[in-house]
Structure formats: C-alpha cells, structure tokens
Structure 1
Amino acid sequence: MTKKIALVTGGSKGIGRAIATRLANDGALVAVHYGSDEEAAKDTVAAIEANGGQAFAVQATLGVDGDAATLVDRLSAELRERTGEVALDILVNNAATGAGSITTATPEDFDRVFAVNVKAPFFLVQRLLPVLRDGGRIVNISSGDTRIALPFELAYSMTKGALDVFTRTLAQELGQRGITVNAVAPGPTPTERTAHMFADERMRAGTAGASALRRVADPADIADVVAFLASADSRWVTGQVVDATGGTFLGPAGV
C-alpha cells in the first residue's frame, strides 16, 4: 500500500486502532479519525510512527449536523499540507456507537445511533467521492449482530443491517470506477469499550465456546480481513459482507 492514503473513522481505539495500525504497517499514510479522545488518537499515531509508519490524527464529532463536511474539510487541509493534493485511496467506516433494547432505548438514543452508524458514513462517502481515486476501496465495519438475534443491541443491529444494504448498493454504483465496496462483520471482540464484559470469565468462556474456532477474537483478527479488502489482492471482491466472527453460533458445539 505504499503511496496509498487511507482514512479510518474511529481509528484511535479498539478495532479502529488495529485497522489503522495494520494499514500503516502495509505502507499507507493513515488519517486516524477520532471524536473526543485526543490522547488516544495521539497515542495511536505515535505508536504507528514508532514502528516506521505514517499517520496523523483528525478530529470531527460524528452524529451532529455538518459532521461529514467538518471531517472532510479537516482531512483535506491536512492532506494539502502533507502531500500537496487532496486524494484518498481507502476509506474505512469504522466509527460506531450503541443503543439499547426495544424496552430501554429512547428516541434520542435511536436518533443518535442511526446518525453515527448510518447517516455519517452515507454522507462521508458522498463528500469523499470526488477525491476517492478510481480503483479505490471502501470498507464498512458491520457486525455479526445482523445474523445473530441479540435483543439488548437491537437498535445497533438495525444500523448495521442498513450498512450492509449500503455496501451492496454502493458497490454496484461505483464498480464502473473500479472502486470496490465491502463490509466486514466482526463478532464479540475485546476492546476498551467492551473490556467490562470480557473481564467476566464466564462471559469470556461463553464467547469463546460459541466460536467454531473456540477462542475470543483479537482486534488484529478483524484488521487483517480489512487489510485484505483494502489491498489489490481483493480487486475481484465487491458488494460482499465478510463474516469475521470466527464462526460464532454456526451450530451446536461438539455435534
């Protein structure tokens, strides 16, 4: 990915950080987007640079009016300063938030989760299409929740279902430019956001037991799949949702 330029939304922590790190390790200049945790973004950039990669942080709050415009304006300014032009090769829509169940979610929760998880990626792509190079890559981070019924994450799961439709339809529309659009659907993965759940040994053992591979995911497992879809090796793959759950809930264990 030498000379490629990538933007990873929500790239300062968890799966996003693993993706940003992997793309930078492969040679890309990575824009690490963050919403509020500047220190985490700086730490991610510093870690990438310490390993010989290139990265910079860009801040924009998603889920608010004008979020896509703000992010693209700030990204464009950074790219002009660093490269002398505004162009992008890889977009990873990773940033997301959660919401409650049918009994606990409020209208405000519902509006916010759709604003961050669906509306922001939609209009970010719209804004970036003029500068996304032909032959580029868009990778959306979906979720295994779209095929696994988890009532406590209903609103969140609905947003990821919308992202899957977005992926397939956009792939059809952008194919004539050689741009591929795919989604990656992770299963339960320990990150800063989910650390409290995996601190419970029963939860961790249950998650591992539900996987056909009998272990809990690592963010790098997801990042490696994204790196493939962002690379030239995936040139004939588009409009797909790649299940990266380690075979979670494929069937009864031990049968």
Structure 2
Amino acid sequence: MAAGATIHPSAFVDPRARLGEGVEIGAFTLVGADVEIGDRTRIGPHCSIHGPTRIGRDNHIHGHAAIGGEPQDKKFHGERVELVIGDGNTIREFVTINRGTGDGGGITRIGDDNWLLAYTHVAHDCIVGSHCVFSNNATLAGHVEVGDHVILSGFVGVHQFCRIGMHAFIGMGAFVNGDVPPFVMVAQDGYGRPRGINSEGLKRRGFDPARTAAIKRAYRALYMGGGSLEEARARLAELAAESDDVRAFLAFVEAGQRPLLR
C-alpha cells in the first residue's frame, strides 16, 4: 500500500491490495485482496472493488459502484479471472463491471478515457475500447466487444457476443442483437436498426468531407445496394482500395461470427 494514499477511516482496504501514490478511498468503501489501483485514482464512498482487478491511473470511480464482482454466469465455479481497467476513466454511481469467465477468455477489459454513466453494466468477458461514452442504464451482456469512440445512449441493451465497431452511435433505448459496423448510427425500431452513418460524430472528431463521403459509400453498398451480403462485400472490396476507413469497415464485416445488424 502506497504511503501517499488517503483512506477514509470507515473504509476497509485488504492488506494484499496495492495502492499507488495519491489514491483516494472514500467512506465505507471496500477494496479487496488482489486489487491494484494506479496513481491518483479516486474511489468514492460505498464502493466495492473485488480482485483480481487492475485499475490504472487517474480514474474517478463515484459512489456505490461495484467493480470486479464475480461474473453473472452459472458456468463460473470460482476459477481465477480478472478485470483490467485503463487510465483516465470516469465511472459514475451504481455502475457494475464484472470479471471474466474461465471459458470466455478470463478477462474483462476496459480501455482509457471512457465515461460510464450511472447504472451502466459491463458483463463478463467484455472488451471495451477507449474514448467511449455509455449513457445511463446502458447494458452490455457477456462477451461484447466495443471499439473506440463508441457512444451508447441511455437504456441501450447489447446482446451477448455482439460487436460494435469504432465511431458507432447507438440511439436511446435501442436493443442491439447483431454486429454494428464502424461509423454506423443505430436507432430504436423495436430492435435497433441502422439509420445511416454517424456523420456528426465523425465531424466532431476531425473527419474531412472526403473521408466521410467514402464511409457513406460503404454504408450504401452494405445496406442500400439491394443485393446479397456477398455482393455487398465485393463492392466494399472495390471501395476499400481507395480508403483506409472502408478497409476497416470491410475487415469488421468479414470478421464477424454473428449476423450483422440489418
């Protein structure tokens, strides 16, 4: 335990936990064994952090969050599984993040500079990139993969084993039961349905008009061409010759094991 940590007298920190310099632990918070917390990370009141869990630097975990709990999976029988959280994340009130499962890779992983707002849930074996925003009550089932710069609006639910590509935007209340390619915007329609590309988000992140136009052509080839998926892939391969973004779009489509959200 680092000498520079500040721990409220009512908190409990297991002697086997490792705290970096400048870590703050709030009132009535529990930090269990085999937990590592990086420098300057702040933990609010009434939180529980169970290990094995690794939390990086400069995170802010607000009150009543439950981090590193056992996976909600009946196949879990106490094997060693982990949670790894990067740097600079904001994790708000009542967020729950579970460790992985033995037969699902063993690790739940969250990148850097994400905002997980109140009551969001990240289940076992999920892989979340960096610079994402999960709005209130957004929920990931097990084994979900989320790319960088993804926004999940409030009350979004993502089915297990689905993938959401980088820069995608999922609208409020949408239920995602298939893979969402990069750059795509999804809106609620019973289950979520693609509704164009995330043009505004791309503009805010510095995509120039030529890049955005290439992504729009890729979207039209996949969702508006009227042909089969194989025909859409062939058209995407043609478009990919001139655009790194379309190559990423095509690579995502070709790598999927679940059906695309269509």
Shorter-chain TM range is under 0.3
Greater Cα radius of gyration, structure 1 or 2: 2
Greater fraction helix: 1
What is the TM-score with the length of structure 1 in the denominator? 0.25
Greater fraction strand: 2
